[in-house]
Amino acid sequence: MNSTPKSDAARATVSGSVVEALFVRALKPTGAFEEELRVAGINIGRLEAQYPGETFYTGIEIARRHRFSKLPKSDGERRLGSLFVQGFLDTLIGKVVGVALPMLAVGRLADRVPRLLSSGGDMEARVEKLSDTSRRVTFRRMSSPSNFMAGLLEEGLGRSGTPVQARVLEEKADYVLQLSW
């Protein structure tokens, strides 16, 4: 399920700041992990402004194998999504965002997911309000697995002070998550 990027995801691009947040700030790879990332196109000592989505997707799989190989794949991907948020909050812009998160209502944050993701590359998301405590988010052109995004959204939206659960509803070329709080 969603083990390799689909055609749209392979054409997506990812900002170098996204790569920095996950690999430089959160994971800090060394040795064989760092070398495998370099061979895949992610040189953490010399970041690029943009990366092909497929390169980022491959990097997530490499990271999962190095850091969470004993967990089921979906759980490892969720953990990496959560770590991404922690790494992002360690960046200059992330520190500014992190101050504001506890002051925002989780529903308002969930409604802003498309805008928040747009700064990370050319991915697309559409939010549908199901109720005051639930949203359905459809993702297109994604360069990360659905469970990575689920972990990212649980951690990121949860910084509002309200725990969030993200459930994968559909997993095809694009994917759909349901957020509940």
Q: How many CB atoms lie within 10 A of CB 124?
A: 16
Does any domain span residue 172?
yes
Token readout for 27 is 């994971």
Q: What is the pLDDT of residue 168?
A: 97
- Determine, yes or no, domain membership for 2: no
* CATH value at residue 94: 3.90.1520.10
**Sheet holding 165-171: strands in order across?**
124-131, 134-140, 175-180, 165-171
Q: Is 157 within the bounds of a domain? A: yes
Q: What is this structure's pTM?
A: 0.91
Question: Each residue of 163-181: pLDDT tens digit?
Answer: 999 999 998 778 999 999 9
Residue 124's domain spans which residues?
7-180
How many independent structural domains does the chain possess? Answer: 1
CB of 23 closer than 8 Å to CB of 40: no
pLDDT band per the 50, 70, 90 thresholds, residue 4: very low
Using CA atoms, how far apart are residues 59 and 24, in angstroms rounded to an integer? Answer: 12
pLDDT digit string, tens, across residues 33-57: 999 999 999 999 999 999 999 999 9
Compute the Cα dihedral for 13, 119, 58, 12 and give only its sign.
Answer: negative
Residue 147 lies in a domain: yes
Type of residue numbered 177: L
